[in-house]
Amino acid sequence: MTVITRWAIDRAIINGHAAVFEAMASVDRKVVTFPLGHGNLPLIQAVKWGRTEVVAVLLRHGAKPPATNEFFYASSLLFWSTTARGPRMTELLLKHGASVTCSGALQSASRQGALDTMRLLIQHGADRITIDPYILTGHPMHFAASTGRVDAMKLLESNGARSDVKDGNGKTPAQLLEEYKNAHTDV
């Protein structure tokens, strides 16, 4: 029986203590898949908290990202990984089998203007054209436009995304960009 508690696992993840998690995993490999409640597992928790080094430790000790995205937009690990600084977490998950399909990751990275992460997702087959079937608010170009990310729009367009497609509200990316500029006069 282990003395490692859910609380200790959770705190190590939330506080980004990769070395502590490494030590716990060395003592008891079950910490890698220990249920944290509400459907959370250590890998999910580490990704959502943006703890890239803890994610690396978990993957090294056998944590597996889901091979498919069965739930809904904004619930995939790849989606959450795009909120971390830089593309490393996304790259780690992709190397360990995370699926780009229906992940919402390119939409999220586009909304943030995370160009390096966008390039990585595109290299791994992220769809630049299809409107997300779960939210119907547009393809990645719409997400970039809605937050004024012109560089992201250019990257998407140079990789085959179309600028003339209308979202679920009948707006093109150019219209969304104009709305953003009007609402943010400091841009």
pLDDT one-digit tens code per residue, 19-58: 999 999 999 999 999 988 887 889 999 999 999 999 999 9
Number of Cβ within a 10 Å radius of residue 162: 13
Tokens, residue 178: 């104009």
Residue numbers of the domain that contains 107:
65-187
> What's the CA gap between 168 and 15, in Å, rounded?
40
Structure confidence at residue 1 as a pLDDT band (50, 70, 90): very low
Indicate which CATH number applies to the domain containing 131: 1.25.40.20
Report pLDDT for 108.
Answer: 92
* C-alpha gyration radius of the chain: 18
Domain match, 79 and 156 both: yes
Domain match, 93 and 158 both: yes
Is the CB of residue 143 less than 8 Å from the CB of residue 105? no
Domain match, 50 and 81 both: no
> What's the CA gap between 186 and 33, in Å, rounded?
47
Domain match, 43 and 117 both: no
Q: SS3 for 35?
A: coil
Mean pLDDT of 149-156: 96
> What's the CA gap between 3 and 33, in Å, rounded?
16
Domain match, 58 and 86 both: no
Last residue of a domain, one of 64, 84, 110: 64
What mean pLDDT is reported for the chain? 88
Domain match, 3 and 91 both: no
Statement: residue 66 has pLDDT above 90: no
Task: Please tell me the total count of domains within the chain.
Answer: 2
